[in-house]
Amino acid sequence: MADTRQRILEATYACVARWGLAKTSVEDAAREAKVSRATVYRVFPGGREELISAVVAWATLEFFIRLYEQVQGATSLEQVMERGIMFAHRSIVEDEVLQRVMQTEPEKLLPTLTFESIRIRQGIAEFLVPYLEQRGVAQGVDLKEAADFLARMVLSYMSAPGRWDLDDPGQVAQLVRAELLAGVVADPGLDAGPHR
Protein backbone atom coordinates (compact mmCIF):
# COMPACT_ATOMS: atom_id res chain seq x y z
CA MET A 1 0.00 0.00 0.00
CA ALA A 2 2.84 2.43 0.88
CA ASP A 3 4.56 1.69 -2.46
CA THR A 4 1.31 2.30 -4.33
CA ARG A 5 0.75 5.56 -2.49
CA GLN A 6 4.27 6.71 -3.33
CA ARG A 7 3.81 5.78 -7.00
CA ILE A 8 0.56 7.75 -7.16
CA LEU A 9 2.13 10.78 -5.48
CA GLU A 10 5.10 10.79 -7.88
CA ALA A 11 2.80 10.27 -10.86
CA THR A 12 0.52 13.11 -9.79
CA TYR A 13 3.51 15.39 -9.33
CA ALA A 14 4.62 14.54 -12.88
CA CYS A 15 1.12 15.35 -14.15
CA VAL A 16 1.09 18.70 -12.34
CA ALA A 17 4.49 19.46 -13.88
CA ARG A 18 3.06 18.69 -17.32
CA TRP A 19 -0.43 20.21 -17.16
CA GLY A 20 -0.68 22.28 -13.99
CA LEU A 21 -2.89 21.79 -10.94
CA ALA A 22 -6.24 22.67 -12.50
CA LYS A 23 -5.89 20.27 -15.42
CA THR A 24 -4.55 17.30 -13.45
CA SER A 25 -7.31 14.76 -12.83
CA VAL A 26 -7.55 11.51 -10.89
CA GLU A 27 -7.66 9.75 -14.27
CA ASP A 28 -4.36 11.40 -15.30
CA ALA A 29 -2.70 10.37 -12.04
CA ALA A 30 -3.99 6.79 -12.37
CA ARG A 31 -2.77 6.52 -15.97
CA GLU A 32 0.65 7.95 -15.09
CA ALA A 33 0.99 5.62 -12.07
CA LYS A 34 -0.27 2.65 -14.12
CA VAL A 35 -3.02 1.88 -11.60
CA SER A 36 -6.81 1.96 -11.85
CA ARG A 37 -8.95 4.94 -10.81
CA ALA A 38 -10.43 2.69 -8.12
CA THR A 39 -6.93 2.19 -6.67
CA VAL A 40 -6.38 5.96 -6.51
CA TYR A 41 -9.72 6.38 -4.73
CA ARG A 42 -8.89 3.54 -2.36
CA VAL A 43 -5.63 5.24 -1.37
CA PHE A 44 -7.12 8.76 -1.47
CA PRO A 45 -10.81 8.37 -0.57
CA GLY A 46 -11.27 12.16 -0.66
CA GLY A 47 -10.61 12.08 -4.40
CA ARG A 48 -8.81 14.79 -6.33
CA GLU A 49 -8.76 17.34 -3.50
CA GLU A 50 -7.14 14.90 -1.07
CA LEU A 51 -4.71 13.74 -3.77
CA ILE A 52 -3.54 17.28 -4.60
CA SER A 53 -3.15 18.15 -0.90
CA ALA A 54 -1.15 14.96 -0.38
CA VAL A 55 1.13 15.79 -3.31
CA VAL A 56 1.84 19.27 -1.93
CA ALA A 57 2.53 17.79 1.52
CA TRP A 58 4.79 15.10 0.03
CA ALA A 59 6.74 17.59 -2.10
CA THR A 60 7.12 19.84 0.96
CA LEU A 61 8.43 16.97 3.07
CA GLU A 62 10.93 16.03 0.33
CA PHE A 63 12.12 19.63 0.28
CA PHE A 64 12.67 19.68 4.05
CA ILE A 65 14.54 16.39 3.99
CA ARG A 66 16.95 17.96 1.48
CA LEU A 67 17.11 21.16 3.56
CA TYR A 68 17.97 19.15 6.68
CA GLU A 69 20.79 17.44 4.75
CA GLN A 70 22.13 20.87 3.70
CA VAL A 71 22.45 22.17 7.26
CA GLN A 72 24.01 19.02 8.69
CA GLY A 73 27.46 19.76 10.00
CA ALA A 74 26.72 23.41 10.74
CA THR A 75 28.37 24.38 14.01
CA SER A 76 26.38 27.51 14.86
CA LEU A 77 22.93 29.03 14.64
CA GLU A 78 24.29 31.51 12.09
CA GLN A 79 25.56 28.73 9.82
CA VAL A 80 22.29 26.81 10.06
CA MET A 81 20.30 29.88 9.07
CA GLU A 82 22.68 30.98 6.30
CA ARG A 83 22.87 27.54 4.69
CA GLY A 84 19.14 26.99 5.12
CA ILE A 85 18.08 30.32 3.62
CA MET A 86 20.40 29.99 0.62
CA PHE A 87 19.37 26.39 -0.09
CA ALA A 88 15.66 27.12 0.33
CA HIS A 89 15.75 30.18 -1.91
CA ARG A 90 17.68 28.33 -4.62
CA SER A 91 15.30 25.37 -4.43
CA ILE A 92 12.21 27.55 -4.79
CA VAL A 93 13.69 29.45 -7.74
CA GLU A 94 14.83 26.25 -9.48
CA ASP A 95 11.66 24.18 -8.85
CA GLU A 96 9.96 24.27 -12.25
CA VAL A 97 6.70 22.80 -10.95
CA LEU A 98 6.37 25.30 -8.13
CA GLN A 99 7.31 28.22 -10.36
CA ARG A 100 4.82 27.17 -13.03
CA VAL A 101 1.96 26.70 -10.57
CA MET A 102 2.76 29.96 -8.73
CA GLN A 103 2.67 31.84 -12.06
CA THR A 104 -0.41 30.21 -13.56
CA GLU A 105 -2.55 28.98 -10.65
CA PRO A 106 -1.50 30.59 -7.35
CA GLU A 107 -5.11 30.58 -6.12
CA LYS A 108 -5.14 26.76 -6.29
CA LEU A 109 -1.82 26.27 -4.52
CA LEU A 110 -1.91 28.95 -1.83
CA PRO A 111 -4.67 27.47 0.38
CA THR A 112 -2.80 24.15 0.59
CA LEU A 113 0.53 25.88 1.17
CA THR A 114 -1.02 28.06 3.87
CA PHE A 115 -2.21 24.95 5.71
CA GLU A 116 1.17 23.24 5.22
CA SER A 117 3.09 26.37 6.24
CA ILE A 118 1.79 26.08 9.80
CA ARG A 119 3.37 22.62 10.08
CA ILE A 120 6.48 23.84 8.26
CA ARG A 121 6.90 26.82 10.59
CA GLN A 122 6.51 24.60 13.64
CA GLY A 123 9.08 22.15 12.24
CA ILE A 124 11.62 24.90 11.55
CA ALA A 125 11.08 26.42 15.00
CA GLU A 126 11.59 23.06 16.73
CA PHE A 127 14.73 22.48 14.68
CA LEU A 128 16.15 25.88 15.70
CA VAL A 129 15.53 25.51 19.46
CA PRO A 130 18.71 23.53 20.29
CA TYR A 131 20.83 25.97 18.24
CA LEU A 132 19.24 28.90 20.06
CA GLU A 133 19.87 27.18 23.41
CA GLN A 134 23.52 26.68 22.48
CA ARG A 135 23.86 30.23 21.15
CA GLY A 136 22.01 31.93 24.02
CA VAL A 137 19.04 34.26 23.60
CA ALA A 138 19.07 37.91 24.62
CA GLN A 139 17.89 38.79 28.12
CA GLY A 140 14.11 38.80 28.38
CA VAL A 141 13.63 36.81 25.15
CA ASP A 142 11.56 33.62 25.38
CA LEU A 143 13.34 30.72 23.68
CA LYS A 144 10.27 29.23 21.96
CA GLU A 145 8.96 32.63 20.87
CA ALA A 146 12.39 33.43 19.41
CA ALA A 147 12.41 30.13 17.49
CA ASP A 148 8.90 30.81 16.15
CA PHE A 149 9.88 34.37 15.13
CA LEU A 150 12.98 33.13 13.29
CA ALA A 151 10.98 30.39 11.55
CA ARG A 152 8.42 32.98 10.36
CA MET A 153 11.19 35.28 9.11
CA VAL A 154 13.03 32.47 7.31
CA LEU A 155 9.83 31.44 5.51
CA SER A 156 9.10 35.04 4.62
CA TYR A 157 12.56 35.71 3.15
CA MET A 158 12.64 32.37 1.30
CA SER A 159 9.76 33.44 -0.93
CA ALA A 160 10.18 37.24 -0.88
CA PRO A 161 13.82 38.27 -0.31
CA GLY A 162 13.18 41.98 -0.87
CA ARG A 163 16.45 43.90 -1.24
CA TRP A 164 18.61 40.91 -0.29
CA ASP A 165 20.45 38.78 -2.85
CA LEU A 166 19.99 35.33 -1.34
CA ASP A 167 22.53 33.83 -3.76
CA ASP A 168 25.27 36.01 -2.23
CA PRO A 169 26.76 34.42 0.94
CA GLY A 170 27.91 37.84 2.20
CA GLN A 171 24.45 39.35 1.94
CA VAL A 172 22.83 36.30 3.53
CA ALA A 173 25.31 36.50 6.44
CA GLN A 174 24.47 40.20 6.86
CA LEU A 175 20.72 39.48 6.71
CA VAL A 176 21.04 36.76 9.36
CA ARG A 177 23.16 38.85 11.74
CA ALA A 178 21.83 42.37 11.18
CA GLU A 179 18.12 41.68 10.79
CA LEU A 180 17.13 38.20 11.92
CA LEU A 181 19.28 37.65 15.00
CA ALA A 182 19.54 41.26 16.22
CA GLY A 183 17.58 41.48 19.45
CA VAL A 184 17.07 37.70 19.55
CA VAL A 185 20.47 36.30 20.55
CA ALA A 186 22.80 37.51 23.29
CA ASP A 187 25.32 39.08 20.89
CA PRO A 188 24.49 38.85 17.16
CA GLY A 189 28.02 39.96 16.25
CA LEU A 190 29.57 36.80 17.67
CA ASP A 191 29.53 33.59 15.69
CA ALA A 192 30.35 30.19 17.13
CA GLY A 193 31.98 29.04 13.89
CA PRO A 194 33.20 30.02 10.42
CA HIS A 195 30.80 30.98 7.63
CA ARG A 196 29.49 28.25 5.36
Burial of 193 (0-12, 13-18, 19+ CB in 10 A): exposed
55-180: CATH topology is: Tetracycline Repressor; domain 2 (1.10.357)
The tens digit of pLDDT for each residue in 19-77 reads: 888 889 999 999 999 999 999 999 999 999 899 888 888 887 888 888 889 888 888 99
pLDDT over 90 (residue 160): no
pLDDT over 90 (residue 157): no
State the average pLDDT over residues 168-175: 95
CA distance 132 to 148: 11
Sequence-ordered list of residues with C-beta below 8 angstroms from that of 171, at least 6 positions apart, any chain: 164, 165
- Confidence band of 146 (pLDDT split at 50, 70, 90): very high
- Bridge partners, residue 185, by sequence: 137
Percent over 70 (pLDDT), the chain: 88
pLDDT of residue 111: 63
Q: What's the mean pLDDT when you consider all of the chain? A: 85
Backbone angles phi, psi at 137, to 5 degrees: -85, 160
State the average pLDDT over residues 140-168: 90
pLDDT of residue 195: 41
C-alpha of 10 from chain center: 18
Give the single-character DSSP code of 180. Answer: I
- Confidence band of 188 (pLDDT split at 50, 70, 90): low
Q: By the 8 A CB rule, do 64 and 29 touch?
A: no
The tens digit of pLDDT for each residue in 87-103 reads: 988 887 787 777 777 77
Q: By the 8 A CB rule, do 97 and 9 touch?
A: no
- Confidence band of 196 (pLDDT split at 50, 70, 90): very low
Q: Where are the domains of the chain?
A: 55-180
- Considering only residues 66 and 159, tell me which one the structure prediction assigns the higher pLDDT: 66
Beta-carbon neighbour count of residue 143 at 10 Å? 13
Q: What is the pTM of this model?
A: 0.74
Amino acid at 62: E
Q: By the 8 A CB rule, do 122 and 189 touch?
A: no
Burial of 124 (0-12, 13-18, 19+ CB in 10 A): buried
In the chain, DSSP finds a helix count (H) and a strand count (E) of 9, 0
Beta-carbon neighbour count of residue 35 at 10 Å? 17
pLDDT of residue 82: 94
